[in-house]
Amino acid sequence: MMRANPFEPKIVAFCCHYCAYAAADLAGSMRLQYPTNIRIIRTPCTGKLEVEYFMRAFEYGADGVLVAGCEEGSCHFIEGNLMAKRRVNYARELLSESGLERKRLRMVNISAAMGTVFAETVKDMIETVRKLGPNPVRSDHVNVKQEIHR
């Protein structure tokens, strides 16, 4: 029996300007297909992201959050991606304590030349979150990207 409205997760991806966002752009230039239910937010560096941003994305209805930064050792801001990794791990603990699955938040390291890897990462994230189901605190009337930029 098919469900009338199959669940399509809403994913917010915070991508660093120099690497992950460039990889997303390359994926588009290469005409690689990946799900359109991901909303990319370009950031100067993932190290500039606070735990609050990840948690707020869930609060405002994201079903999953992807943080995509430069490869380790290649950050344009020296250790920004390492700071982001620590914050993501801390936020995953907070998610777990609040009853949400840790797998809803993921950090990956991608170089600007990895358009294919970016597309595959997005597909994998969508599938992971699809299996987890909707964010239980999600409110469908909220525009996730608009609320995060508040």
pLDDT tens digits, 61-105: 999 999 999 998 889 888 999 999 999 999 999 999 988 999 999
Average pLDDT for residues 111-128, to the nearest whole number?
A: 96
Domains of the chain (ranges plus CATH)? 11-148 (3.40.50)
The closest of 9, 25, 15 to 127, measured between CA atoms, is: 9
Average pLDDT for residues 107-119, to the nearest whole number?
A: 96
pLDDT at 4: 58
Confidence of residue 113 (pLDDT cuts 50, 70, 90): very high
Q: How far apart are alpha carbons 97 and 93 in whole angstroms?
A: 6
Express each pLDDT in 32-55 by its tens digit: 988 889 999 999 999 999 999 999
Q: How far apart are alpha carbons 140 and 18 in whole angstroms?
A: 32
Confidence of residue 146 (pLDDT cuts 50, 70, 90): low
Question: pTM for this one?
Answer: 0.87
pLDDT at 115: 95
Average pLDDT for residues 8-29, to the nearest whole number?
A: 95
pLDDT at 54: 95
Q: How far apart are alpha carbons 47 and 98 in whole angstroms?
A: 24
Q: What is the mean pLDDT of the chain?
A: 89
